Amino acid sequence: MPMKLGEIVARLYLAFMIALVWLPIAFMIMLSFKTGGSVSFPIQGLTLDWYVAKPKGYEYISYISVLYDSAFWEALQNSALVSAAVGATTCLIVTATALALRHRVVGRDALFYLILLGFIVPGVSLGLGHVVMYKQLNLEFTFWSAVAVDVVFTVPFGLVLMMARFDPDLMLYEQAASVLKASPVNVFRRVTMPLVKWEILTAGVLGFVLSWSELVRTSFVMKGTGVLATYIFNQMQINPVTPKWYAAGTIIASVSFVGLILVGYIMSRTAK
Amino acid sequence: MVKLTNYAMLLPGLISCLIFLIIPLAMIVSMSISTYATTSVPGSAAGALTFENYVKFFTSPQTPTILFNTFGMAFLTCFMVFIFAYPMAYILNFKIKSSIVKNYTLWFLTVPFLIDWTIRTVAWIPILGESGIINYILMSLRITSRPLTELLFTRYTLMIIWLQTYVLFMMFPITLALGRIDPDLIAAAKVLKAPPWRVFYDIIFKLSLPGVVCGFIFVFVSILGDFVTPGLWAGGLQTMGLSIAWYSGHFVWPYAAALSTILLAIALVVLYILLKVVDIKKLIYE
């Protein structure tokens, strides 16, 4: 039957794309367990040294196991904090803006394009702009400078995705509620909120994810250890690629995997 | 009859845009047209109006190559990502019925994106590197006698890495646009005996264009602004992003600012033309 064949081809294509995206990741995971400092085949022996070996005290950072690389954990922590802050801020701004933009407010298109400009500006231009701004105003980089530079481009992403997913009849329900004399607060709490809460959560997750893997913009405004992306990028500029970094990647991948499964599980459980 | 609260709700977005987007961009533009001593810390003295940075850029013999590299690569990569991503979005929307398969596909595609950017790109070394798996296969099949070093540091490497990174960005908005197509339209066309390619082209593809454009913007702009991947893997390929990063890293900020302004201007022109052709607001409101 032709239907069946189409379905098989479709599934094979999806599997092929997943394999393509995962190909380097699979090699990364494999090679993170190998002995010896080069990241190539053949694998002569397997070891957990890149994860947990105690450093002897004279190695370069590329040869210290992930567990004992304190800067790595500090950067990971910074990343988690920055991303969480970006996720929360994105959530708030996107929700407020998206709900208001559905109405025919004056200058709706102008504001929409202004926000859209946030991801139209190439990352390198925006990063430079922030550096210049901080220097000209004599400000120091803080935790929040990384959050700010990320929020500028996560908000447009979130806004586009959120508004595209709003229930088309949402405004009708709201109007029905207010015609029936529900107070604005009640309309929001009882009608709007339950209908858009998944979109709100999605925007937050999206902000977190985008900020987590953001390097171009963040690299301009980070000082010290920085977030994970800038820390590893800086290390790669001066240090050789060893299985240690693959071990770090494997750890990040596992944490992300568990995190995503958890988010998905919670969403599917509460959505019912 | 729009209430005041609606305007109040727009404020956070507006204010954050003004402070963290408009002010930095304004400062870049103003810095690019004033006469600061090129190596001193800017802000020390206000300069006079000058266009020397722009003149310098447009008279440099490297400029055509840099522009061609930057925008040629961006367009080509976008097109390639689109070719790979559209079938995925189509399949996820129309061919896969079970939501479990859909969700797992999305998860599996998202996880690699969460792995650190740098690690994800250096993970290509065991595949494309000098003693990587591809060279191993080529040499054991006796197709080449010595390992190819060209695999790792060319523009093709760059495109593969970008494909891996951005395929999700292209797929997501297209999936959204496809999901908004009224199934009755497709059913009606089929009932009226439209051939399958017309159903696809006239209904599905045309209605998904806002999503395609959205994805195109995501990918195009991300590639324009990326200096990290070309810096690591392009093997000396010069792009605008790399130049900006290099000059700002060496504190030649006015010139870097001029480059940034030019990059932004060209990106805006490209996207303006695109948005004239396709109204992406259809994806969002109306």
Q: What is the pLDDT of residue B285?
A: 56
For the cut 70, the answer to whether the pLDDT of residue B40 exceeds it is: no
Task: Give chain B positions within 8 Å (CB) of A6.
Answer: 95
Instruction: List the single best residue of B14, B116, B283 to mutate versus A (max A Cβ within 10 A).
Output: B116
8 A C-beta contact, residue B189 and residue B202: yes
Residue B154 falls inside a structural domain: no
Tell me which chain A residues have a C-beta less than 8 angstroms from the C-beta of B41: 135
- Whether the per-residue pLDDT at A217 is higher than 80: the answer is yes
Compare all CA atoms of chain A with the CA of B130 and give the residue at the minimum distance. Answer: A40
Report the residue of chain A nearest B181, measured CA to CA: A164
Residue type, B54: Y
| DSSP state, residue B49 | B
Given a cut of 80, whether residue B84 has pLDDT beyond it is: yes
- Tell me what pLDDT residue B39 has: 44
Using a CB-CB distance cutoff of 8 angstroms, which residues of chain A are in contact with residue B126?
24, 27-28, 31, 39-41
Give the residue numbers spanning the domain of B106. 61-117+165-284
Are B178 and B204 in contact by the 8 Å Cβ rule? The answer is yes
Size of interface A-B (CB pairs under 8 A): 304
Write down the pLDDT at residue A106: 80
Instruction: Indicate the pLDDT class of residue A138, thresholds 50, 70 and 90.
Output: confident
Mutate to test the interface with B, among A134, A149, A160 (most CBs of B within 10 A): A160
Nearest-angstrom CA–CA distance, A40 and A42: 6
CB atoms within 10 A of CB A116: 23
CATH number of A69-239: 1.10.3720.10
User: What does R_g of chain A's alpha carbons equal in angstroms?
Assistant: 23
pLDDT for the residue numbered B36:
62
Instruction: Report the pLDDT value the prediction gives residue B284, as an integer from 0 to 100.
Output: 63
Question: Does the beta-carbon distance from B107 to A260 stay under 8 Å?
Answer: yes
Q: Tell me the residue length of chain B.
A: 286
Question: Minimal Cα distance from A115: which residue of B?
Answer: B17
Residue A255, pLDDT > 90, answer no
Q: Which helix (H) or strand (E) holds B207?
A: helix B206-224
Residue of A nearest to B136 (CA): A41
Residue A111: is its pLDDT beyond 90?
no
- Dihedral of the alpha carbons of B168, B170, B173, B176, in degrees to the nearest 10: -70
Q: Which of B88, B74, B112, B86 is nearest to B270 (CA)?
A: B74
- Does residue B235 come out as left (phi exceeding 0), alpha (psi in the -120 to 50 range) or beta? left
CA distance A58 to chain B (A): 24
Confidence band for B1, pLDDT divided at 50, 70 and 90: very low
Task: Give the count of domains, chain B.
Answer: 1
Q: What is the mean pLDDT of residues A35-44?
A: 70
**To probe the interface with A, which of B16, B20, B171, B250 has the most A CB atoms within 10 Å?**
B20
Is the pLDDT reported for residue B24 higher than 60? yes
Query: What is the C-alpha to C-alpha distance for residues A120 and A156, in angstroms, rounded to an integer?
Result: 9
Q: What was the pLDDT predicted at A88?
A: 92
**Average pLDDT rounded to a whole number, residues B259-274:** 88
DSSP B98: -
pLDDT at A87: 92
- Sign of the four-CA dihedral B149, B152, B155, B156: positive
The mean-pLDDT minimum among A217-221, A232-236, B130-134, B252-256 falls in: B130-134
Of A128, A152, A217, the CB nearest to B257: A128
Which residues, at least 6 apart from A110, have a Cβ–Cβ distance to it below 8 Å?
A: none
Q: Per-residue confidence at B257, pLDDT binned at 50, 70, 90?
A: confident
| β-pair partners for A46 | A34
What span, in angstroms and rounded, lies between the C-alpha atoms of B188 and A7?
A: 22
Name the phi and psi angles at B51, rounded to 5: -115, 20
Q: Write out chain B residues lying below 8 Å of A188, CB-based.
A: none
CB-based contact A135 B42, cutoff 8 Å = yes
Residue A37 has pLDDT above 80, yes or no: no
User: Per residue in B142-162, pLDDT tens?
Assistant: 777 777 766 777 777 888 888
Nearest-angstrom CA–CA distance, B83 and B170 = 10
Say if residue A172's pLDDT is above 60: yes
Higher pLDDT, A234 or A207: A207
Query: Which uninterrupted H or E stretch holds A128?
Result: helix A123-136
Three-state SS for A1?
A: coil
**Average pLDDT, whole number, for chain B?**
81
Chain A residues with CB-CB distance to B92 below 8 A:
14
Complex-level ipTM beyond the 0.85 threshold: no
Query: Per the CB < 8 Å rule, is B126 touching A102?
Result: no
Is pLDDT of B112 > 60? yes
As given in the structure block, the two tokens for residue A253 are 């991948």
